[in-house]
Chain A
Amino acid sequence: MLLLALDTATPAITVALHDGTAVIASSTQVDARRHGELLLPAVDRLLAEAGLGLDAVTGIVAGIGPGPYTGLRVGLMTADTFGLALGVPVYGVCTLDGLAYATDIDGPFVVATDARRKEVYWARYADSRTRVTGPSVDRPADIADEVAGLPAVGAGALLYPDTFPQAHEPQHVSAAALASLAAERLAAGEELPAPRPLYLRRPDAQVPKSYKVVTPK
């Protein structure tokens, strides 16, 4: 078994290879605006480093968000298309689950990432493997009561200390954690969700004034 995991639902462009037992290579770059440019070269370097070709991969693991849509789609479209070209299954994993899995917090906690527009994507966990509520998208002040007294991880938690006074690292998800979590669940015979995006919001139904791009002058 060789899983290629990737996630672009947070500012991180993160990729990892997992052989069913352990992560054999991983890389994470943080650049919220360049997911599209950075993902494929990152995959290419990862495979080169491991001395493997993409055709050795037996499954793709993709972070399904929630996350800012444009970046999120880069990872999911890449995963879908790899799956098509290689004829291998594509598994979805909630990005917040990947973040939770990377923590070593004992007991209940919260994962919150930056949803922009003064909101966070968040979920509550009983432990690093067990999500109890969410994922949801809310204004931090509106969920203060629900998360009161709980430790929190993720950039969304670090961004709003009033709501998340016990916030700490990690900020972003790592594909290594995502891959390990997926490998564990697959080994346990669990079914993973389809690699479809968790947008959690309806699209902004605004037609821009000039709704198609006009030829540059």
Chain B
Amino acid sequence: MTDMRDEPLVLGIETSCDETGVGIVRGTTLLADAVASSVDEHARFGGVVPEVASRAHLEAMVPTIERALKQAGVSAKDLDGIAVTAGPGLAGALLVGVSAAKAYAYALGKPLYGVNHLASHICVDQLEHGPLPEPTMALLVSGGHSSLLLSADITSDVRPMGATIDDAAGEAFDKIARVLNLGFPGGPVIDRYAREGDPEAINFPRGLTGPRDPAYDFSFSGLKTAVARWIEAKRAAGEEVPVRDVAASFQEAVVDVLTRKAVRACRDEGVDHLMIGGGVAANSRLRALAQERCEAAGIRLRVPRPKLCTDNGAMVAALGAEMIRRGRPASGWDLSADSSLPVTQTHVPGDGHDHVHELSKENLYS
């Protein structure tokens, strides 16, 4: 076993959506996971308002960094690097985190790693279940993502297998919760109602599951409309809407497609590990059905605890630590936020002639 002190100590910053996350890890060990969320401020709008999120990130950043350092019981000067989500995400929100990370790394004389948000969602599982098997199939589902990714090396090789062609799975949960007047965000509340409902009560459509449809892509827009129409028809007829059965049947349609396609991708690619991440991974039915289907197919399922599935800084730190461990190049001080950073770009290395890191180190703590 390696001496834990040899593992890189990394602070990670995440601001791609509405969570200001700052996490600290040592290698694959979680030391701190501080999150400040602006979700309540968005609730009355029924979705994340970018400007509200950006404003909240600016106010929350310094206190959240302080909280993470305290939680981890480490001093900033002992850090081996600063990692930050460079994209994809909301442009203005990302830029707040990138600005903070650059200033922090520069002031401390530490290397900076701009990393991919989606790769971070996968890498976070190292904090829960140890080093990622290579290759790993990953199903990422949240309000922003619905993708199937195959990773042979989380620092350099992440390939998209499939993705949603319209809405993200989490968006569908939010929309249906709104139609049912259950509030925002929709995921947890639908899950709760669904537990007391019959998942087979209503047969909602399974998008993109026909024989000629793309095998690994998703579509939730049609389902969303079908459920909304079904509810409106009930209301128009003056009948009571069976909220629990609707929630259960809708949720079943979503998780059925997600798990079916994920397991199929594993089989087709000969991959024996599936990880599920993103906020929707907290859904109890998704976890249960994935477990059942993976077991039947001889696939090992890895799902981190819910707090690590939603957006957080620890996942960014986890990927940053892996970048350092594998000797990947640091980012430059001109690192920018890229709202549509491709999933294949696991990190954003500098141009290679970055004398700046040397300079700052020399000037600061020589």
Contact = CB atoms under 8 A, between A and B. Distances in A.
Using C-beta atoms within 8 Å of the partner chain, give the interface range for chain A. Answer: 35 or more
B156 interface: no
A188 to B, nearest CB: 28
B51 A204 contact: yes
B104 A207 contact: no
A189 B161 CA distance: 63
A41 B50 CA distance: 27
A78 B359 CA distance: 19
Interface string A78-109: 11111111100000000000000000000000
Contact of A215 (B91, B100, B160): B160
Interface in B338-363: 339-343, 356, 359-360, 362-363
B340 A213 contact: yes
A208 B50 contact: yes
Contact of B146 (A38, A52, A70, A214): A214
Contacts of A73: 54, 58, 92, 95-96, 99
A216 B345 CA distance: 11
B17 A203 contact: no
A77 B337 contact: no
Contact of B99 (A74, A210, A212, A214): A74
Nearest to B92: A70
B47 A80 contact: no
B96 A77 contact: yes
Interface stretch (B163-171, B225-233, B267-275, B293-301): B163-171
A207 B103 contact: no
Contacts of B91: 70
A47 interface: yes
A205 interface: yes
Contact of A216 (B88, B100, B333): B88
Given A55-B364, A73-B99, A206-B49, A86 B107 contact: yes
A160 interface: no
B336 A36 contact: yes
Nearest to A42: B333
B286 interface: no
Interface string A19-56: 00000000000000010111111011001100011110
Given A54-B360, A70-B95, A217-B163, A78 B55 contact: no
Contacts of B108: 85
Contacts of B334: 37-38, 40-41
Contacts of B144: 212-215
Contacts of B50: 208, 211
B126 interface: no
Contacts of A212: 17, 48, 89-90, 142-145, 168, 170-171
Interface stretch (B59-67, B238-246, B317-325): B59-67
A197 interface: yes
From A40, A205, A210, name the one whose CB has the most chain B CB atoms within 10 angstroms. Answer: A40
A213 B90 contact: yes
Interface string B126-165: 0000000000000010111111000000000000100111
B72 interface: no
A78 B140 CA distance: 32
A52 B364 CA distance: 9
A43 B268 CA distance: 51
A48 B65 CA distance: 28
Interface of A: 34, 36-41, 43-44, 47-48, 52-55, 69-70, 73-74, 76-86, 197, 199, 203-208, 210-217
28 contacts: A34-B336, A36-B99, A36-B336, A37-B336, A39-B99, A40-B103, A40-B334, A43-B106, A47-B363, A54-B364, A78-B102, A78-B103, A79-B103, A80-B62, A81-B65, A81-B100, A82-B103, A84-B104, A199-B55, A203-B51, A210-B171, A211-B47, A211-B48, A212-B90, A212-B170, A213-B16, A215-B343, A217-B163
Interface of B: 16-17, 42, 45-52, 54-55, 58, 61-62, 65-66, 76, 88-92, 95-96, 98-100, 102-104, 106-108, 118, 140, 142-147, 160, 163-165, 167-168, 170-171, 333-337, 339-343, 356, 359-360, 362-365
Q: List 9 A-B pairs, minimum CB-CB distance, nearest first.
A: A212-B144, A53-B363, A85-B107, A207-B47, A203-B51, A81-B103, A77-B99, A211-B47, A215-B147
